[in-house]
Amino acid sequence: MFLYGFDYYFIALVIPAMIFSLAMQIMVKGAYRRQSRVTNARRMTGADAAQRVLLYYGVRDVRVEMIRGTLSDHYDPRTKVIRLSEGVYNTPSVAAVGIAAHEAGHAAQHAQGYAPIKVRNSILPVCNIGSMLSVPLILLGIWLAFSPLVTLGLALFSLVVVFQLITLPVEFNASRRALRVIDEQGLLEGGDYAGAKKVLNAAAMTYVAALVVSLANLLRLLTRARRR
């Protein structure tokens, strides 16, 4: 796997990006841990908050369910279900309200036909293929000295980067939708609101970090492939 050896490009590009990504993961876990210990003044649970956001945006065909795990919260548009982790669904913490409202924000995006999420979903199948096949195709193309394979692999990897780039406005918009409802409906106030915002901002930075890592890897692959 000479494309992923400890060469100059790996050290100069990929390692700093991975360190940044690790730092963002630590930051979001720390923000979640701190705010999950703070009970919000209204004692509103994550499930309650999700329902309030759905009601605000007129979304009435989405269920809210509990699943196991930590920070495993997500919205499934195929089944129209918001799945909240145990620490969010029944917990009246500041973090629970912020996270649940964010996932309900995604449900509102789908219900209202938010353009970036449509684009992201349309390229998702190709991106899944690209994430699995891009590097093997590049390696095989270099080994066979067959440049079309290398080009195809790079194109597939580039699609993964595009997917992560489109994910940024989707995630930031879901947080803005959540915070708008939290603020206008008074779900959280004062320091509680600020705490929820910190959790969502930290979570958003993990998507920025994922994009940075992918860009670093793409630049490295392009450089190595061109040199060979």
Q: Residues with catalytic annotation? A: 103
C-alpha 54, offset from chain centre: 20
Residue 35 token pair: 């705010």
Cα distance between residue 80 and residue 75, in whole Å? 7
Name the residue among 106, 138, 104, 110 with its Cα closest to residue 2: 138
C-alpha 204, offset from chain centre: 7
Strand partners, 93: 39
Give the angle subtended at the CA of 72 by the CAs of 71 and 78, to the nearest 5°: 145
Find the Cα–Cα–Cα–Cα dihedral 72, 73, 77, 78, rounded to 10°: 40
Helix-then-strand count for the chain, H and E: 8, 3
Any residues with CB less than 8 A from the CB of 137 and at least 6 apart, and which? 149, 150, 152, 153, 156
Residue 70 token pair: 């930590």
* Residue recorded with tokens 């989405």: 62
Strand partners, 95: none
